[in-house]
Amino acid sequence: MNKSESKYFNTALKFDNALLSLLEKKPFEYITIREICEEAGVNRSTFYLHYENTCDLLEEATRYIIDKFISYFPSDLQLITSNFTKCDITELNFITEDYLTPYLSFIRDNKRTFRAILSQPSTFKFDLFFEKLFEDIFAPVMNRFRYPDSEQKYVLMFYLSGLHAVMLEWLKNDCSKSIPEVTEIIRSCIFGREDKWGIRPSKN
């Protein structure tokens, strides 16, 4: 990255962070360009060098968040999506440390950003993001587990709603529990809790 590209990136980052900071305080439709510039410490003319309006900035900020989230996952985990139809079915368990640790690390390291997203999910159009995730990841996985098409969206909402609730509680307590502790909570919610000898309770 050359000097001019670096300067452009740093300015864009200031605008992204300014918008995210303001979104913690008020809905997107009430945020003005003047407020964004004041929060970023950058003048209006510079804003218009980068964007036409606040919607352009929001779109960039959303891409920035998604790219940053993906960067937390090792490349070998990112590439597994290309092998869903061929890999061993045991590899399709995403409630593991390999997947949960990057996910939880992103939330812990970006608490302010994640709170803004959770407070206004429709603003960031994350419904479209999850729709894309469903098409590319969740649907192929559930097909491997032979979930009927008519049930797949229900199963997805069950998992996502549960994870969402756990994240809200974790953030409410300022992520005071460690990542391994939260990972175990999520695992126990789905698979049941093991006793101290590693034996799951009997069904009888």
Q: What is the pLDDT of residue 6?
A: 66
Judge whether 94 and 103 are in contact, CB under 8 Å.
no
DSSP state of 201: P
Q: How far apart are the first and last CA of the chain?
A: 63
* Mean pLDDT (whole number) for 131-155: 81
Residue % of the chain over a pLDDT of 90: 31
Quick one: average pLDDT of 104-125? 83
* pLDDT of 42 higher than 80: yes
**Highest mean pLDDT pick, 27-41, 79-93, 185-199:** 27-41
Query: Residue 90: CB partners within 8 Å, gap ≥ 6?
Result: none
Structure tokens at 3: 């000097």
Q: How confident is the model at residue 37 (pLDDT cuts 50, 70, 90)?
A: very high
* Mean pLDDT of the region 72-101: 72
What's the rounded mean pLDDT across residues 157-164?
85
Least confident of 14-18, 64-68, 75-79, 193-197: 193-197
> Average model confidence (pLDDT) for the chain?
81
Please report the pLDDT score of residue 55 as a whole number: 93
Confidence of residue 4 (pLDDT cuts 50, 70, 90): very low
Whether the per-residue pLDDT at 84 is higher than 60: the answer is yes
Q: Which residues contact 155 (CB under 8 A, 6 or more apart)?
A: 142, 147
| More confidently predicted of 161 and 104 | 104
Its pTM stands at: 0.74
Residues 28-35: what's their mean pLDDT?
94
What confidence score (pLDDT) does residue 199 get?
Answer: 47
